[in-house]
Structure 1
């Protein structure tokens, strides 16, 4: 019975890790019912020694009936043979579940289809685990199906798995291994509890099985503790969320995925590099520089911007034009341009997304590249853009100020996706969005007012010497410091736009770069983030809240449709001079480099490479060292607190023993109470002496009487006369407490104990004294005894057996 129960418990413990994937907990109770059903059948199979194949078959049949009973209204014929209606009734929600999983992002709603799919998977895992552990007696192999179940949330969600969830799952697996080991031992007879006690009380166990069992438990618990505690003590880089991009036929089949680093972290790393290497070069038929977008982040959870995308096989760029730009009216005037891009083959890491001007209408490139229809990001799960040359045709809208002002509200689908904000967004940020814009203004006018707030009116400054991009950093940037770089400017404007009801997202890529002899060169310091705002009929338009020129992002430019001097111009890029490459901005472009390079050198120096978004690495190392030091001081602090508590006990009992003041004994029992307190004081003083001997590495034999111990200490460590007298008085008080009716006079006990401690400290080396203060062995020994008691408790639980009624064995 032990193995079936342990198998079910292990499966249930690992299934808890699926909680972050779902909204609500109804799915878990449905899965728990399957686990209990599988476990119950396994227990019956073990009780009646049924063949393994029969038990597994019964579990599969039970799983089938359970799913039919819970998730469909159809019945099988005579409750045994499935009918066509029952098969269809079960297949429909399964197909719906597959489609919903492809459509939703975690946490997904626990609807019927998704819950049915989850319960089927958990039930099959439970059957496999039970088959390996209970039937085939291969408990170690159960780690494979359990790991497969555990890795599902790790591969889907971007947040780390909760440490408590990991502990529960690991304990479930360890419990299954322990149950398997106990089951093997009991085949040779009833297991005897091994009492782990100190060597001076009882001899060490000689049973090899007991020793191995103890070592296995210690290794298991130590591994779990190290897996949880060690990473928390080490300085870490910001984790890379997993972005899964389904690449299939749009019907939930044949999907693959790619994993990319966090775009925000990549952006900061590119801007902070001391070197400024070339990322790509490009030429364009009108010689107008264009922003080249890599990623489009559409989800803001209050801490960071992330993205979702999906590619379809029928949308391959090699098979035809790109999907139409969302929201762009076909009657809107556009500017067609052809850009030829050459990506450097010296860039670090694979480039799985294409840098593209927006919106691209056709791409000529080798390989399997697919766009996301909603954002027009183009990516591949098989190829990389490193070293590739490709040609992009764009159809850039030419909106007028009047058309943007008169743009109707966006569709409900756009608003639902691009207006979402976390419920815990600070109220001050919502109020700020309304304070810096006019209530009666159009969405376009409010967008211009937001851009001017960041670039002119709000007192913002550009600096790379800022940390973080989470909710706290956003609040600090908008309300307090107002200092940051493009990430903070873009993310903040997108949030404020959503507050005002303007659909917004954050784009990450590169600015237009610098012109060298008619060819535009984009380098790592041209990495940039900017907001994109949606206007019905025109589609997505970029805005530029980041300061430009020498005081900001050197190669950034302000779109012409946001400039008051030319409100009707439609070019996305600034006006240009084909011979000089002038941008038409207030500050002319430098053809030989990015002005932000000098700004970078002034702010962070030429040799400093920040590697993360949060606290600097040196500070994290320092904080980690302080944390390790504090943890190391815990045993010493515990020992100091215990010693102080004992000192208060025996220092407050300096009164004479009962009856020594010449008064008659108190018939009410006050004398007995006083004697009891004095006994407690003597016991505390003796315990303190015992711990001091342990801390200084001095042994105390269990057979020694207090008087014999005092005599041996005086002779062995060369106590002077005062110290010898003091230890003798402490021993005499202990003997009176043990053998006399009252402890007698203990008035000098605190001074005697203090003198004895000094004599003991003088008899050992300085290193031993330091260890006695910082890492006292007596405290460590108590912690070890607590662990031993916990292991003893597990042994007792393993020895529990269900008693059979009398006469059943007859």
Structure 2
């Protein structure tokens, strides 16, 4: 090495280090979805290894293809050392056993991603996946920024790093992750951008000025703003919950009954395996855990959430539900610890008196009986003070009086005459509203009527789904049963709604464990004074049903002794079983198989992510074109190719265009140079360099046999440095350089 290199910095090494730093800054976004920092050190080692192999390959003069191949091999080796060393050859080399171990480890990430709710622990499978992804990103950034010399294009690659955790997180990623990403990208632009203009070895003060000067600060701020906006878009897409009162379109238009309302629950509750959702302490008797209620019935699409109000602050003492004047019942204090549940609906038992511990911005709607939030936040452990109503059948039979509830709860529009006639026939002998509700409930649970719980419904006959279920199929799951019973009650004038939530789960020591298997839908019917009471028509055969005492007593009345000879037989019991339906099949009482996961809705996230990426790519295209063109010209000038002076002159003309001045076709090189010095106030160094370049251009144009000028690189650098100092570009011109846009007409 010559002495001129003493105390200088290798500019290609500076650019490579900036690329590695930019990748690690972008990886900070994973802090929003990974619960601990166990991934950080392996990721850092992986990125440094990939970039280090690239630096070594370029030092040895390998071609670009050879450098990329060596980096891929290095990535495989480092993954083997980090995650499969026990199966590797000599603990380092990736043999067949080590590759199989890595494949097994990476294959296990699918289940973690599908069942985990961010933030999730950074277990080895996720660490391996993150390291693999960041290793590939580091390779691409190193290739684009250092190998090809177009650092602006790396912004798209780094944006993808942000997009992955932002689309999975349920809330905004940490602000500092965007700040780090913007700063890393700005340093990469400064380092790799100057790399093509610097000499092979540069003085440290010049490198520091380029990396930490005003230009880099402006680019860093701009990149940070773009990263925050893009992160906001992706985070909104990835959020599991939605604003209460809305029904996302991706769940609309089903031909089943009651499927559409299962919007935010659907993605979590229909799994290929059981996922624990809650642990509950203090529950004295099995009861349903209500997440939301649905009041609007559409014969075409099923039940929908409708009419949810802003309600009251859920952290304050809660009023009785709308239309409820009797607050009698069993008081309970219940502690709920969410495990794998995150949604804008906070499930509650019974009649809530107070709820605490879940954080701010939670609301309670007394009309719907729902605790909800309109902000994206984590569901924390919370405590409920509740009243579990315990009316007797006689008290509900005697419930009379006005119904101070929304008339929408008795809306029976769209119900077919055939369904209404069935409801009348089932309740012909029921004297009270309560007995009618019991009779309808029994119609579904009595084995003689042929209804069976099943996760597959009977084939459609072309009729509406409700009629298909009630009169022909008689096979379905809780949504079908709850939806059908609520419709039948409304046709009788009994206010009703569908509730969605969970059964009580199973006992584990002093706790109740509620899992995805306990997702359930039931019916709530209104009785004056007593409010909304639970009915459950689903004929479950696995012991998960948790009927309130009044309903269990009414459905299973004490057996009366057989009459003695000569004594009259007792009359019909109100709410007795309805006559069997013709053609009914005996109940098989099959234990249902677990639910299948619905069609993946990740396509909507992917589509919107692609739209955002394409928009960002379109916005970055002019800057990318300008950087690519500049890099190619500088390389041609540095290598002294034919026409190097003309190439340098074209670069100066683009600098002029970027500043809003279109050169006239009639101007000679010297005329244009004079105007450039005057219009942009070039200093003496810049003016002298410009004259030197004009001389070289004229020599090349008019005396092509003359020897080439070997100082063109320094000459061009002096001109551009003078332009940047005396006529700096504004932010708009930096991001959207005019020289990369289609030319416009100007007046001579």
Under a length normalisation based on structure 1, what TM-score does the superposition of the two structures give?
0.37
TM-score by structure 2 length?
A: 0.40
| Larger RCO: 1 or 2 (CA < 8 Å, sep 6+) | 2
